[in-house]
Structure 1
Amino acid sequence: MNDWIFHLIEGGGYWGIAFLMALENIFPPIPSEVIMGIGGISVAHGRMAVAPLMIAGTIGSTLGNYAWFLLGRALGYERLKPFVDRFGRWLTMDWEDVARLVVFFQKHGQWVVFVMRFSPFMRTLISLPAGLARMGHVRFLVFTLAGAAVWNAILVWAGWHLGRNFGALEKYTGPVAAAGMVLLALVYAWRVVRWKPRER
């Protein structure tokens, strides 16, 4: 996977960065840490410049998230009710929880979208509930763009700092991602075991 990303960046330049970052937000297994980290390494070697790299990466991230947002807007959260009623235990929520989440998103969702841009696991998925809650297009795009810009700047700096030592980048991102996945799985299992439907 990393070799494919490296060759696409080398051949596609800034367009390759934008394409990969959009794809990363539609298919989360593609790691933005590697994409923008390679971009930072290219800056250190004089093959790329910071400003167009940041623009390409941030626009790509925003477009990828916007695709999930539009899907959520098209569905609407009302269509989820039969699904939630049937699989509430595995979602660890009932319909009242969904309704409260939608109200929360309508009031404060922009900050959730911004903060989740720094989460390896939720930065893409958070766009779907934002769309389901029918957050405004402009508000979603502004806060997604801002969060993506900050996150990408951190990754570019890390890649630039590491220079040629690309293996060191993988050494840290891999274990952190794996530990996070294990932690999330344990939290989810705990919630499923303890979850009880609300008495009506």
Structure 2
Amino acid sequence: MTDIKMAQTPPTPTEAARTLVARMSDKSPEAVGMSDVMELIEVTPDKPPAPVAPVVLAHRKRLEIERDALRTGAAELALRSARGDKIAQTELAAIPVRQAALQFEIDLNHDAHDLAVQQDAAAEVAWRASLQSMDPEVLIEGIGRDRCCNRCMPGLSCVITAGYPYAAATCGHPVREKQTIFGRDANGNRQFLYAQNPQAARVFEAARKKLNVPTR
């Protein structure tokens, strides 16, 4: 069978980790060293980085409230200005400038939100990949015969199969998915579906041994 070649090669765990480190610091991905990557791996959380997109939306809401509030009391300032109040004239003159600045940022906030969504997605991909640099026994912490690993996100990502770039959300639980995650080798022994991928095979083997799942 001819392998189908993909247009883009997924990043290796180390490359993805470097990208995530760069996002979390002031360094460029090229300037991130292995010591930075190892430091990240040691503190890799069980959940992906907090998304920035919701923060951008919340900021837009605050800007809109401030913009709309500028008109509150403007009529009173205009009346005082008409009566020759110099302070009111100064405050009134500042309103259009501030209002224009707020509207300018509000308009840009839409593009900023789109950018944040893209960066959030990239950070989550990098986080998932960085998990694969962990020791397999640590990576599968929490796995039980009827429950997934702590770091799995059912329906989104499985840490057991994630080492294989094209596994998508395929669950590799040796017990719960035994009808679909095993194939047969030339000798008739049961074989992990992604056994050809070293990283996925290592993590699966750790899970299989922990759950005492036989290979025959």
Query: What range describes the TM-score normalised by the shorter chain of this pair?
Result: under 0.3
Indicate the structure whose relative CO is greater, using CA pairs within 8 Å and at least 6 residues apart. Answer: 1
When normalised by structure 1's length, the TM-score is: 0.28
When normalised by structure 2's length, the TM-score is: 0.26
Would you tell me which structure has more helix in proportion to its own residues? Answer: 1
